[in-house]
Amino acid sequence: MKVVIAAAGTGGHINPGIAIANKIKEEEPDSEIIFIGTGKKLEKDLTSRAGYELKAIDAYGFSRKISLENIKKTIKTLKGFKQAKKILEEFKPDVVIGTGGYICGAVISSAHKLKIPTMLHESNAYPGLAVKMLVKKTDTILLGIEETKNNLKNAKRLVYTGTPTKVKQISLSENEKNKIRSELNLNSDLPLVFAFGGSQGAKAINNAVVEIAKKKLNANYQLLLATGQEQYEGVKQELKEAGFDIDNLQNIKICPYIYNITEILSMANLVVARSGAMTLTELAIMGKPAIFVPLPSSSSNRQEDNARVFEKRGAAKVILNNDLNGDNLDKEINSIVTDNALLDKMGKAANKMAVYNAEDRIYEEIKKVIH
């Protein structure tokens, strides 16, 4: 099988593409797979680590604002369509799969013109502009969230597969938990709330936790905050100016980044996070209740749409970014972690939304679209 995967921009686009590629290789080791992206550092790092070749083309998002810079980007993006067509003509794939980013426009459109079978994976509750524009040029659209089907009325074929992820449900022994608690100086007697904002961190979540630390609000629970690498020093300095040592806070541990996220998620009683599609997928698999703080956007409310799906099903609470502060976050945390029945109910509701065999489902659909 010869496959082209178009993915660019964020790990939330690239990692599902890599998971799909790995599944194809697992089933058909002789398969040839290449990625098409924009050539940015993250794309290069992730694809090369996974052992795949990345071919770069020009691709930018379209803006409604008229400016010289946007005109230049539009010209380069149109050039990207020719670049994509050339790559496809030379590689001659059996199928082209898009997993997100503006790159999909050029690659899927070119594949459609060349009569190559096409697929898109949409991991969010509300589809992005690229997916909406390509809906009639795509043979099958794979959905990470079932509710997305209500927002893609004109699609040729929709299949709910879930979103592939490297996070798997695990069960830690008490010795393993104690080792992690010791390393992070966590208290085994208090519920653990894990707060994070993705690899870059979330300033609103960081600010709210800092406020909780300053006011010493969290007597009933402990907080583990991953600030993001670039925001850690700022958080440390803010606490220092307020007379607090970041390494000696009341029931709060603050780190730049958490590398063993699967283990931490397994131990956490509650999660505070942004509501990107990958985070939702991971929390559903782990069966974890959450307080979501959706990333605001001027063009769309994609993360809020994601969060509301979980909220509607009883798996999460939502606090909007502009409404978040230490007091209301503490109040919401307390209302959940002090109610074991509610914790259990929310966790089970999240787990009901999990898809454990997303890669298998997607592989079966790839075979269908080719044959």
AA letter at 132: K
236-290 per-position pLDDT tens digit: 999 999 999 999 998 999 999 988 889 999 999 999 999 999 899 999 999 999 9
Q: Are 142 and 48 contained in the same domain?
A: yes
284-317 per-position pLDDT tens digit: 999 999 999 999 974 568 899 999 999 999 999 9
Q: Are 117 and 199 contained in the same domain?
A: no
Q: What was the pLDDT predicted at 60?
A: 62
Q: Are 183 and 316 contained in the same domain?
A: yes
**Region of residue 291 (left: phi > 0; alpha: psi -120 to 50; beta: else):** beta
Q: Are 126 and 39 contained in the same domain?
A: yes
Q: Give me the domain span that covers residue 141.
A: 2-163+356-370
Q: Are 124 and 181 contained in the same domain?
A: no
Q: Is residue 242 part of a domain?
A: yes
CATH number where 199 lies: 3.40.50.2000
Residue 177 has pLDDT above 60, yes or no: yes
Q: Are 94 and 214 contained in the same domain?
A: no
CA dihedral (86, 87, 93, 98) positive or negative: negative
**Mean pLDDT computed over every residue of the chain:** 91
Could you tell me the CA-to-CA distances from 306 to 115, 202, 226, 277, 313 in Å, in that order? 33, 17, 22, 7, 11
Q: For the ranges 71-85, 91-105, 226-240, which has the lowest average pLDDT?
A: 71-85
Q: What was the pLDDT predicted at 171?
A: 85
Residue 69 pLDDT grade (very low, low, confident, very high; cuts 50, 70, 90) = low
Q: Is residue 72 part of a domain?
A: yes
Q: Are 156 and 250 contained in the same domain?
A: no
Q: Is residue 202 part of a domain?
A: yes
Q: Are 71 and 45 contained in the same domain?
A: yes
Q: Are 19 and 156 contained in the same domain?
A: yes
Q: For the ranges 26-40, 174-188, 215-229, 291-305, which has the lowest average pLDDT?
A: 291-305
Number of domains forming the structure of the chain: 2
Q: Are 111 and 198 contained in the same domain?
A: no
Do 317 and 291 contact (CB within 8 A), yes or no?
Answer: yes
**Cα–Cα distance, 190 to 192 (Å, whole number):** 6
